[in-house]
Amino acid sequence: MLRKAVYSIDEDMKERMAQKNDSGELEKELAYCKELENLIESDPTLSSIPAVKEKLNLLKESVEDAEENYTLSKDTDARTGHKSADSQFFGYKTHLAMTEEPIITAAVVTSGEKGDGPELPMLLEISQNNGIQIDTVIGDSAYCGKENLKLKDKDDQNIKIVAKMNPSITQGSRKEEDKFDYNKDADMFVCPAGHMAIPKARQGKNNRGKNQAVTYYFDVEKCKICPLKEGCYKPGAKAKTYAVTIQSTIHQEQQAFQETDYFKKKARHRYKIEAKNSELKNAPWLWAGYIIWYYKYADAGSNRHIHSQFEENYQIKLLSL
């Protein structure tokens, strides 16, 4: 379209035009488009003509979109995460553990779609290996899953979870609970492919001897073309849902714990988590170095190896790394 618009004004430009790319390779096509852009823009008179300018701007936008998607597609491990029901990002998440002082004691990097709660056991293990004695975990509702609440009975650790319970994340009779993650910011569940539920509805009646359930609905059109649909979406199904039973016994115990003075006193320290996140965002040199080492040793099979290499290179001692 751009070439035709140029030829209609100046046929002599045919001799100066770059040779078309017929290889079908995206990199060569982008290089050809860039060369074409530069050629047209080198002639201010030609590029200012409305018919040419419109086609040139369209080409530029197409090239920018292609370059962005091409860059993202190279990172096969990155995934789409959600900051809220209406806000999302593409990339990775860093899960942190820290003391009340606050000193970082553990860090785990996951792809963007992963929930926060499932990473708690790993954060605890790393922190304990770093010599930290833990009797209480302070966090938000994402850490109030059933498996995390069971930590108080694991190996007689008696770890208390100071996190306010949300009925939406109780896991009494969840199926495939290791696949669907709860996103506390959006108050929705996210499927293994990173797609967020659309609406939700409570089913069943209270005080009838049977637990109620919250049913989450997913966009069935996305399910139809999802590469992970096998075993998750039944071909021809008109809906894809995910049900969560609320108020199991262990969550009833947690609800009672929330009313204690100890819980309320410890919960006041939660603001330190957001303060630390803000502090880290203002130290990009630190995370830039971490990310460089993460990618360099991504196939090393051990986060500890990544961490030790980071420390050695930057001469910085972080309990989490």
Asked if residue 30 lies in contact with residue 67, where contact means CB atoms within 8 angstroms, the answer is: yes
Question: Do 68 and 122 belong to one domain?
Answer: no
Strand order of the β-sheet with 79-82 is: 79-82, 88-98, 104-111
Question: Do 261 and 307 belong to one domain?
Answer: no
Asked if residue 130 lies in contact with residue 232, where contact means CB atoms within 8 angstroms, the answer is: no
What's the CA gap between 13 and 240, in Å, rounded?
56
Q: Can you give the pLDDT at residue 143?
A: 87
Reading the block at residue 51, the tokens are 């018919």
What's the CA gap between 153 and 163, in Å, rounded?
17
Question: Do 222 and 159 belong to one domain?
Answer: yes
Give this prediction's pTM: 0.50
Cβ within 8 Å of residue 273, ≥6 positions away: 96, 98, 102, 138, 139
Cβ within 8 Å of residue 252, ≥6 positions away: none
Question: Do 260 and 209 belong to one domain?
Answer: yes
**Cα 199–201–203 angle (5° rounding)?**
160
Q: Is residue 319 domain-resident?
A: no
What's the CA gap between 8 and 110, in Å, rounded?
53
Asked if residue 51 lies in contact with residue 1, where contact means CB atoms within 8 angstroms, the answer is: no
Q: Can you give the pLDDT at residue 299?
A: 47
| Amino acid present at 137 | V
Q: Can you give the pLDDT at residue 166?
A: 66
pLDDT tens column, 139-168: 988 888 888 888 877 777 889 999 987 655
Reading the block at residue 233, the tokens are 């979406």
Question: Do 177 and 196 belong to one domain?
Answer: yes
Question: Do 155 and 125 belong to one domain?
Answer: yes
| Total residues found in the chain within this entry | 321
Q: Is residue 58 domain-resident?
A: yes
Q: Is residue 167 domain-resident?
A: yes
Q: Can you give the pLDDT at residue 172?
A: 45
What's the CA gap between 144 and 159, in Å, rounded?
13
Reading the block at residue 177, the tokens are 């609970």
Question: Do 45 and 17 belong to one domain?
Answer: yes
The helix (run of H) or strand (run of E) holding residue 89 is: strand 88-98
Asked if residue 245 lies in contact with residue 172, where contact means CB atoms within 8 angstroms, the answer is: yes
Q: Is residue 182 domain-resident?
A: yes
Question: Do 210 and 254 belong to one domain?
Answer: yes
Q: Can you give the pLDDT at residue 161?
A: 92
Please count the structural domains in the chain: 3
pLDDT lower than 50: segments of the chain: 72, 169-173, 177, 207-209, 293-302, 306, 314-321
Q: Can you give the pLDDT at residue 120?
A: 93
pLDDT tens column, 249-274: 787 788 889 889 999 999 999 888 88
Q: Is 255 exposed, middle or buried, given 0-12, 13-18 or 19+ CB atoms closer than 10 A? A: middle
Q: Is residue 128 domain-resident?
A: yes
Question: Do 121 and 228 belong to one domain?
Answer: yes
Question: Do 121 and 257 belong to one domain?
Answer: yes
Q: Can you give the pLDDT at residue 95?
A: 87
Q: Is residue 209 domain-resident?
A: yes
What's the CA gap between 89 and 176, in Å, rounded?
25
For every residue of 157-212, DSSP letters joined together read: ---EEE----GGG--TT-SSTTTSEEETTTTEEE-TTSPBP--EEEES-TTSSS--
Q: Can you give the pLDDT at residue 154?
A: 77
Question: Do 172 and 254 belong to one domain?
Answer: yes
Q: 74, 99, 126: which is the final residue of a domain?
A: 74
Q: Is residue 321 domain-resident?
A: no
Q: Is residue 221 domain-resident?
A: yes
Question: Do 134 and 36 belong to one domain?
Answer: no
Domain that holds residue 138: 81-277
